[in-house]
Each structure stands twice: as structure tokens, then as C-alpha cells.
Amino acid sequence: MSLMVLAALFLCGLAFAVTVFSVTDLVVLVVFTIGAAVCVEGSRRLETQRHAGSSRDLLGAWWFPVVLLLPPVYAFLIPIPIYLLNQRRIRQTLMYRRVFNMVSVGLFGFLISVVWHWLISGDLMEGLRGSGEVSQWLATLPGLLVAFAGCAVFTLLNTLAVALAIRISMRGKRKLPPLWDRESLMVDAVEISMGIVVAILCNISLFLVPIALPPILLLQRSLLYQQLQNAARTDPKTGLLNAPTWEQEASIEIARARAARNRSAVLIIDIDHFKRVNDTHGHLFGDQVLMGVATTISHHLRQSDLLGRFGGEEFVVLLPGSDVNEAWHAAERLRVEVGCMEIAVEKVKVTVTVSVGLAVVGEHGNDLVELLTAADLALYRAKETGRNRVCLPDGRDDGEAPEPREGRGTPAVPERPQGIADA
């Protein structure tokens, strides 16, 4: 981050030295800033809690025109009031993150603006100062294509920079969502298109810019509504499916398995002595433990498996197509991997273990309610027989337990295999 800030300050100073400021350019900057501020205010009541990862909005519809129409130095200026307004009116976060976002948007916007003006004028110094021939170039098809490509490159660079910063700050504590999916690509394309539309309207007349405000607000509200729907499906602390959503999707999968006469298994995973963790290290550290366990479990599941947080320190997993032996080995693998996990608190390494209850379709129940009841009974047996183990409801030993792995979080070599415990 420090290198980006230094580079931004150097380039901003260089651009200030060669730019000829005009009242017209400043008025245009103010108009675009007001448009972005209206969009920020319009999203206040719909803003949702975000998880780690990059998020999409439509504010680029207001700073893309700055990149295309104004001298490059203005690309450094417009993110400042917008992110400060976000910090004050939408969601307060660590200030260094806001600064990084400002620097990232300003730096990459400046570079794209320099290249854009350079291509128009054919001279690098003119590119730094800003070419006066933007109006003619933006009115041509090649100019529009180059403008769209430049905005797309800006979006790519900014998203990669933010994702890299998040990955460094998280240090592998949590699985990050993908940078792009079908929906995010569509949002990026809409954002770029609206930015170019605003630039064209401003190119014709500054008084036409307010025409673009209602459709941008409508598109942004649609985007935030989708975020609300996603937030209603997920647990705010771990990012996993919440209990109602998991139950709904698991019921569909179990009904499908029953119709096709396939097997599926349900696991209930409970963190052992979690209250002791909270009482000893505090609830904030307890939240880190929850995220760490959620990440570890999700990293060792198949793509088809369904993972959710059931509440408190309990997680639930649906394993489609798994019989008793396959599900037991999967549960045992998760138990061992969580036991090997370490979380640091004040330079002290803390480990946790989990107990797992297991139930299989056709053997322990025929619908989700019966399976959850059976798995919960098995979890109770795991707790009663020593914790840090996998149990079935009926106490049968359904296979040879693997050799216990050495390492933190796993029990010492027991007198009998710690697989499926007997009642």
C-alpha cells in the first residue's frame, strides 16, 4: 500500500505541475461529484453488511466520465469526497482501507486517463495535461470502443489490486469469494456503459447529465436489492448459508436422493468447549475461531457438498451421494483438519476440536427432520463419550478407523481407534 501511495503522490504532483486548470473543468468535476454523492445517499437504506471480498457498485458511472473528459489529474480528486462520504454516511470501516480504495481508484484512473489522452493527441505531455480533442474522438465508433476498453482495463486493475490487498490482510484466515462471476461481470459491464453514456451526455451539454441520474439510481437499487437477497441467505459472521437457507436446499437434495434411491448423509459439527474459548479469550476471538473452523471445513468439502452454520458453534453439512463409510471418513477428515488448525491470540497459539454427529438417508431417517434428529443424537453421544470424535446414532462401528494424525488438536493415541464410538 505504501508504494501505491508514494506512486500516487508523485504522479499527482507531476500532473498538477503541467495541468492548466479551468473553471469549466472544475464545474464538470463538481457535477460528477454531486451525481456520485446522490447515488451514495440513495443507497443508504439498502446497504447490506459485506463480507471479506471485493464488492460491486455503480459509482464508476461517475468517475469514468472524469477519466475520459477531464485532464488526468482530476482522476485523483473525485474518489476523495466519494469515499469520505461512504465512510461517514454508509459504513464505517478502518480508515487505511478507505485510503487504499481512494489511492487505487485515483492511480489507475489517472493512468488510464493519461493513455486515453495520449492516444488522442499522440504526445505524452499532452496526455499528462489532457487533450482538448476528446469531444471529437468520443463521437466516433473507434473512440467509443477505445473508451470502453480503457474503462474495462481500469476495472480489471482496480479489482485485482483490491483482491490482492484483501488476500494479504486476511493471510489465508478465510476463503475469499471469486473475483468475478456471471453477475459481477454484468454489473461491471453496466457500470462501464453508464459511465460512457454520462460522458457522451456531458460531451453534448452539461445540462443533460441529470438525465442519467434516475436510471443509475434505479440500477443501483436493483443491485443492492440483489445484495439484500444474498445477505438474507448467508450467516453474517462466517459467510456460510444460514440455517433456514441450508434447511431449504438440503430438503430439496434429500428429496432428490430419495426419488433416485441414492444415499446422502448429514453431519452436525460442534466446536468443543466453545464457551470456554469465549470466556478465556473474548467474543471477538471466538468469532475468529468460528471463521477459522468454517474456512477449514469448506476447504475440505466437495463442490457438491452443502455447508451451513446452524447456530452458535454448530455447523451442518450435507454430503450428497455418500453412504455410511464415505460420510464417516469425510467427517473424520474434517475432525482431524480442524484439530490441526491454529489461531493466534496475543502470540499464543490456540487450538480447538470438534465433535461430529452423522446420519445417513435410508438408515437413520427419510427426511431432513429425521436426519437432523438422528445426527443430533449422535452428536450428543460424541460429547458424552469424550468429545473430539465422530459418532453414529446407533453406536455401530461401520468401518476401520484411520490412524490418528499427529499434531495439535488431535487426541493422544487412544487405547482403541477413535472413529465411530460405541455407546
Residues noted as catalytic: 313
Residue type, 6: L
State the distance between the two ends of the chain, measured CA to CA, in whole angstroms: 56
Cell of 187: 454489473
The set of residues, in sequence order, having a beta carbon less than 8 Å from that of 193 and lying 6+ positions away, is: 148
Cell of 230: 444474498
Contact 352, 289 (CB under 8 A): yes
CA distance 20 to 217: 33
Which residue(s) pair with 241 in the sheet?
A: 234, 308
Contact 60, 151 (CB under 8 A): yes
In angstroms, what CA-CA distances link 18 with 67, 78, 112, 235, 295? 17, 19, 17, 51, 50
